Structure formats: structure tokens, C-alpha cells
Amino acid sequence: MTTLIIGGARSGKSAYAESLLAALPPPRWYVATMQPWDEECRARIAKHRRARAGKGFETLECSRALAALRLPRRGSALLECLGNLAANELYSAGSVREEEAVLTALLAGVAALEEQCEHLVIVSNEVCLGGEEYAGDTDAYLRVLAAAHRALGQRAGRVCEVCAGRAVYYKGKGPEQ
């Protein structure tokens, strides 16, 4: 089953997703998508690794081309985070890639991961609530991520939003319900 978890920055979505993954039988794969662009990113990656230590997750780094990732064996996986992956795919080529190609790559990557898992938990940022229109590249990113959320929300068994550390399910039921 696939669970899509969306939430704002520092909403508690990652901690909630990790608790879902930790409750599943091993092996538990943590697919980390943050690309170490600069020292700030490297420090954040190190902080996240420390926070995951001892939780029974095996980390796999995949900042682009998710469809090519092969899990060492079948299990459960947490994809953290779709927003990072979308940005990496959109901007990493030295110029902005075409939105439809990026959306296709994201959805194909998730489908490939779903085929390798018993359970897949996807974390993504809710970035479309600002109510403002953005110019250029930022608007392209928002369109790609919103389209990915819609497509994944339709096929996921569970969809929830985390706000202030609390999960509200829009589709399916959480384990605590």
C-alpha cells in the first residue's frame, strides 16, 4: 500500500512518516532525496542521518532518476521527500527541464519503487497554499509538484496531511484510527 503524506515546513510530517515506517516489518528502506548542493545542505543531511540512527532504517541516497533505483530486497520504503526530488529533476540539468518530462520521471520513479515494496510511504511538501502566483522557475516547480500530488493521491491507498504534528486523513485510515 502507498501512503502519501503532505505537510508544510516543520509540520511533523517526516516524524510521522518515520513512525509509520518503523511500525512495518523489516527491511525498511529510507530513500533520501536531498542533494548536497552546499554546506547548509550537507549539514542538514548529516542532521537527518543522526536523527534516523538506531531506528532500523537502511538509507539509500537517490537525488534523481528514481526509476533506476533498485532496492536490495523487497520490504517497506519511505521516500523523503518528493519536493526535493522534483526540484532536483527540474533544475539539476543546468537549466530548467520541461515540466511534463519531470512529472513523467517522478511518477515513473514512484511506480518503480511501488513495484519493489510491500508498503511505500511518500513525504512531500505542501507548497501550494500561499495563494500567490510566482514567476518563472518557482511557478514551474509548484505546477509539477501539485500535479504529482494529484496523480499520486489518486492511486495511493492513503493520503494525509500533517499539521502541528497531527495527521488528518483524506483517503484511507491511519493506523491510529
Contact 110, 68 (CB under 8 A): no
Contact 115, 155 (CB under 8 A): no
Annotate 66-103 with DSSP letters as a single string. Answer: GGG---SSSEEEEEE-HHHHHHHHHHTTSSPPPHHHHH
* Residue 131: burial class (beta carbons within 10 Å; 0-12, 13-18, 19+): exposed
- Please compute Rg for the chain using Cα positions: 15
* Amino acid present at 170: Y
Cα dihedral: 98, 111, 11, 142 (round 10): 20
Contact 17, 78 (CB under 8 A): yes
Positions marked catalytic: 48
